[in-house]
Chains A and B, each alone.
Chain A
Amino acid sequence: MLMLIGSLITLIGSIFLFLGALGILRMPDVYNRMQAGTKATTLGTILFLAGLALGYSHCTCWPRILTLILFIVFTNPISSHALARAAHHIGINLTEKSVTDKLAEDEAENGEKL
């Protein structure tokens, strides 16, 4: 019974992983791709690994899986932020549908690269 619940959680997590990859393919812009690829895959990985730790709890690998989940939760937004900042710095344009660009406004206001 516990294994069935864990497998369903893993299935939901794999669907989130697939949708994150689909966002990578379909979004029009580097920044939109970054948002889809980071948010959806973080949630998908949490659910995937939690379902595996729940279903295979007799193999006692859940402390390492918990460490892995915490590591991914802490490091994934940092790497995404660094990449988005670097992409803005080297001048990759936003898509035409975007409404505002706060970082460019602040840089124009201060007269220097932030």
Chain B
Amino acid sequence: MAEIIYNISAIIALAGMIIALYRMVKGPSIADKAIALDVMTIISISLIVYIAAISQKIIYTDVALVYALISFIGVIAIARYLERGL
């Protein structure tokens, strides 16, 4: 029962990721695309931790931690590039 609810939650989060991907492809300005990329990154961090929990491999949560770090630095770099050039 609990595993089924976990799987349904992962499918709902994946549907949200597909919607954010549509906005990232279509988005009128660069800031739209950057925000959609940020949302996709956060949803994929959640899904990586989900995979780590259901496959009982603790090492996968380190992947999620490093991915969060890199995404934060990437968004800050995009914002700085938009504001005054690299």
Contacts and interface: CB of A to CB of B under 8 A. Distances in A.
Q: Which of B17, B22, B61 has the most chain A CB atoms closer than 10 A to its own CB?
A: B61
Contact of B80 (A6, A65, A78, A86): A86
Interface residues of A, number: 55
A90 B83 contact: yes
Given A64-B58, A67-B65, A79 B38 contact: yes
A61 B2 contact: no
B15 A82 contact: no
A112 B47 CA distance: 44
A68 to B, nearest CB: 6
Given A20-B39, A87-B29, A11 B5 contact: yes
A14 B65 contact: no
Interface residues of B, number: 50
A70 B13 CA distance: 20
Interface in A10-46: 10-11, 13-15, 17-22, 24-25, 30, 33-34, 37-38, 41-42, 44-45
Name A's interface SS: helix
A25 B13 CA distance: 15
B61 A64 contact: yes
Contact of B52 (A7, A20, A61, A90): A61
Interface of A: 3-4, 6-8, 10-11, 13-15, 17-22, 24-25, 30, 33-34, 37-38, 41-42, 44-45, 48-49, 51-52, 55-56, 59-61, 64-65, 67-68, 71-72, 75-76, 78-80, 82-83, 85-87, 89-90, 92
Interface of B: 1-3, 5-6, 8-10, 12-13, 15-17, 19-20, 22-23, 29, 31-32, 34-36, 38-39, 42-43, 45-46, 49-50, 52-54, 56, 58, 61-62, 64-65, 68-69, 72, 75-76, 78-80, 82-83
